[in-house]
Amino acid sequence: MAENTVSLFGFEIKRKKQSDKEAERIKSVVAPQSDDGAGYITASGSHFGQYIDIDGDNTKDNIAMINKYRGISIHPEVDMAIEDIVNEAIVNNADESTLSLNTDEIDAPDNIKKIVQEEFDNVLSMFDASEHAHDLFKRWYIDGRIYHHILVDEKNEKAGIQEVRFIDATKIRKVKEVKTKKDPATNADIIESINEYFIYTEKPGKTSAGQIQNKGVKFTLDSINYVTSGLLDESRKKVVSHLHKCIKPVNQLRMMEDSLVIYRLSRAPERRIFYVDVGNLPKGKAEEYMKNIMTKYRNKLVYDAGTGELRDDRKHMSM
């Protein structure tokens, strides 16, 4: 196996390596920027061994944010808004396919276009897009990212993709391992190489024993299909969901709803007890007047236009 090559769980198409002279000429202390939200980690070495912090710098923050997005999405008002957006984006038509590929503007022979179209239809059949396109888009919209594992037959790679499996966004993340070396002239850390891959952890975070779970499985870049929302936070390091802007309004709405319930409960005794002035009525008529008031506030006949019946509603809040 060549150096810095990962060949687990998929195939890998490698680019041509830079020559020694070219690598020696291109030097920088700044890592290249990307918009995929990958966390940068540093591989440190010494005479006693090497270690890599596979949790990176913001793994727990990403998991917490994804769980927060999912919690917001189950709020009734937010769920209705998400459903409207998904229904506008994904249109299911019995006569046409949910997704289609337009190759009219591609400058390629017809036989190449035919092969591309056939492979596109093959991938759609693996996703079962006609049935699960709505769910896939909704997952991507809520989490702000979506991962799929591309499975191939290692003994027969020419057969192409055999299966595509969904991966929970909280269990996998993309990292960039940056290796540096000291520049003898300036004593600065010069970036020597950058290795990109995905790390999958079945149980991220803490285990039941309270210990940190640092064991993960590496995936090559071409074995994972990774799509983000394209939105970044103010530091331009973390990928955020389209629901990120509604966190504050939803929390305020929940607070108002809860406070209204508390207010109604605290005001309930005052609403149930009130003073009825009988004036100078005799005792018998005063009691009869009180009974009429009680009956008036206890029962109320309501005409139901849907069924055409008279319904006797009991107003317990006014008893």
DSSP, residue by residue, the chain = --TT---SSS---PPPPPPHHHHHH---SSPPP-SS-PEEEE-EEETTEEE--TTTTTHHHHHHHHHHHHHHHTSHHHHHHHHHHHHHH----SSS-SS----TT--S-HHHHHHHHHHHHHHHHHHTHHHHHHHHHHHHHHHSEEEEEEEE-TT-GGG-EEEEEEE-TTSEEEEEEEEEEE-TTT--EEEEEEEEEEEE-SS-SB-TTS-B----EEE-GGGEEEEE-S-B-TTSSSB--TTGGGHHHHHHHHHHHHHHHHHHHHHHHHHH------TT--HHHHHHHHHHHHHHHHEEEEEETTTTEEEEEE-GGG-
Q: Is residue 121 part of a domain?
A: yes
Question: Residue 294 sits in which domain range?
Answer: 274-319
Q: Same domain for 44 and 189?
A: yes
Least confident among 34-48, 193-207, 301-315? 34-48
Q: Which of 144, 142, 135, 164 is nearest to 152 (CA)?
A: 164
Total of domains in the chain: 2
Q: Same domain for 300 and 219?
A: no
Q: Same domain for 295 and 183?
A: no
Q: Same domain for 89 and 153?
A: yes
Q: Same domain for 195 and 119?
A: yes
Q: Same domain for 105 and 207?
A: yes
Q: Same domain for 309 and 234?
A: no
Residue 228: phi, psi to the nearest 5? Answer: -110, 170
Q: Is residue 138 part of a domain?
A: yes
Gap between the Cα atoms of 115 and 109, Å rounded: 10
- Where does the pLDDT of residue 26 fall: very low under 50, low under 70, confident under 90, or very high at 90 and above? low
Lookup: tokens for 163: 């299966």
Express as a percent the part of the chain with pLDDT over 90: 24
Q: Same domain for 287 and 230?
A: no
Q: Same domain for 155 and 87?
A: yes
Give residue-wise pLDDT tens across range 273-297.
677 888 889 999 999 988 888 777 7
Q: Is residue 192 part of a domain?
A: yes
- Which of the two residues, 219 and 52, has the higher pLDDT score? 219
Q: Is residue 247 part of a domain?
A: no
Whether the per-residue pLDDT at 11 is higher than 80: the answer is no
Q: Is residue 296 part of a domain?
A: yes
Gap between the Cα atoms of 183 and 186, Å rounded: 6
Q: Is residue 122 part of a domain?
A: yes
Q: Is residue 176 part of a domain?
A: yes
Q: Same domain for 282 and 149?
A: no
Q: Same domain for 53 and 200?
A: yes
Q: Is residue 264 part of a domain?
A: no
In the chain, the N- to C-terminal Cα span, in Å, equals: 83
Whether the per-residue pLDDT at 48 is higher than 50: the answer is no
Q: How many residues does the chain have?
A: 319
